[in-house]
Chains A and B, each alone.
Chain A
Amino acid sequence: MAHQAHAYHMVDPSPWPLTGAVAALLMTSGLAIWMHFNSVTLMSLGLVLLLLTMYQWWRDIVREGTFQGHHTPPVQKGLRYGMILFITSEVFFFLGFFWAFYHSSLAPTPELGGCWPPAGITTLDPFEVPLLNTAVLLASGVTVTWAHHSIMEGHRKQAIQSLTLTILLGFYFTILQALEYYEAPFTIADGVYGSTFFVATGFHGLHVIIGSTFLAVCLLRQVQYHFTSEHHFGFEAAAWYWHFVDVVWLFLYISIYWWGS
């Protein structure tokens, strides 16, 4: 076997970028077909292809790192840069929705009654379920940090317990938020209040689900002895993402739930 004279990782040719791009094509075209012709087939096909791509792509990365040893320190540095840049791009994504919220709420138009919250909108009490949700996510930030220290100190059982607790807190948040959505006295169609509320909190909720999934994969990997006390970047990436989700919620809570009520 030819050996490389450098510490970097020249990946094997892979079909997953192509299948991922096709999945994006199918999902976007499928969205248009759904909007105009009431058929979800194309979009669903795209979603299935996306899930297959994600599973196999990330499975291959685990193989390359944990089983083949390709994730040397310089490679891991690149992965860290990558995750940080990705999270930064997500910050900008949410920034847009916060911009929209402040644009409409700082100078409420006459159509809204010249006030915020707009006339006719019954807002949610920020000191009920939203406050509980804040506590749940803050607690999950503590448990994920506990999990990290457990991994670094080689405490396998504690790492599994704290990581499981983090994921359960994530599920609890999601369930509470789903119930809030169901019980809310306003909908997404209720003017700019409804739009900004549900789009901003909705995308946040989606990110909670994504983050919980990432943590669940880390739990499976921790159980299967993939992580060492020195090398567990997959977990660190998940923890960074989870903290980001928590911080976005804090901004949402303060801006939309509290100031905006």
Chain B
Amino acid sequence: MFRHMIAVQQVARRSICSSARRQVDNKVPQKQKIFQEDNGMPIHLKGGSGDALLYRATMALTVLGVGFTLYELVKASFPQKRD
């Protein structure tokens, strides 16, 4: 009878715990392995293809941005009437 009470208590505690929140696993050791691999990749690309995509998008915006700025500044330098 006493053992049954303990068992119920344990089951109740377990079900409350597991339904409350999902556990986040510690993925740091896996990340450490990826980023310590001797593949000669610089840190900003070492995470994989996602890094390369984001880098290319950022660089594209950078180059386009410089061009756009120079265009706007040159346009602003001339005495043209704006709508």
Tell me, yes or no, whether B1 is within 8 Å of chain A by CB.
no
- Contact mask for chain B residues 15-50; partner A; CB cutoff 8 A; 1 contact, 0 none: 000000000101110011011101000111011000
Considering the chains assembled together, what is the distance between the CA atoms of A69 and B35 in angstroms? 10
Q: Quick one: which of A42, A52, A66 contacts B57, CB cutoff 8 A?
A: A52
Across-interface contacts of B76 in A (CB, < 8 A): 32-33, 36-37
Q: A25-B69, A56-B55 are in contact. Are A223 and B24 (CB under 8 A)?
A: yes
Interface of B is mostly: helix
- Chain B residues 35 to 78 lying within 8 A of chain A, measured CB to CB, are 35-36, 38, 42-44, 46-47, 54-55, 57-59, 61-62, 64-66, 68-69, 72-73, 76
Instruction: Report how many residues on chain B are interfacial, defined by Cβ distance under 8 Å.
Output: 31
| B residues lining the A interface (CB < 8 Å) | 24, 26-28, 31-32, 34-36, 38, 42-44, 46-47, 54-55, 57-59, 61-62, 64-66, 68-69, 72-73, 76, 82
Binding site for B on A (CB under 8 A): 1, 11-16, 18-19, 22-23, 25-26, 29-30, 32-33, 36-37, 41-42, 45-46, 48-49, 52-53, 56, 60, 63-64, 66-69, 223-226
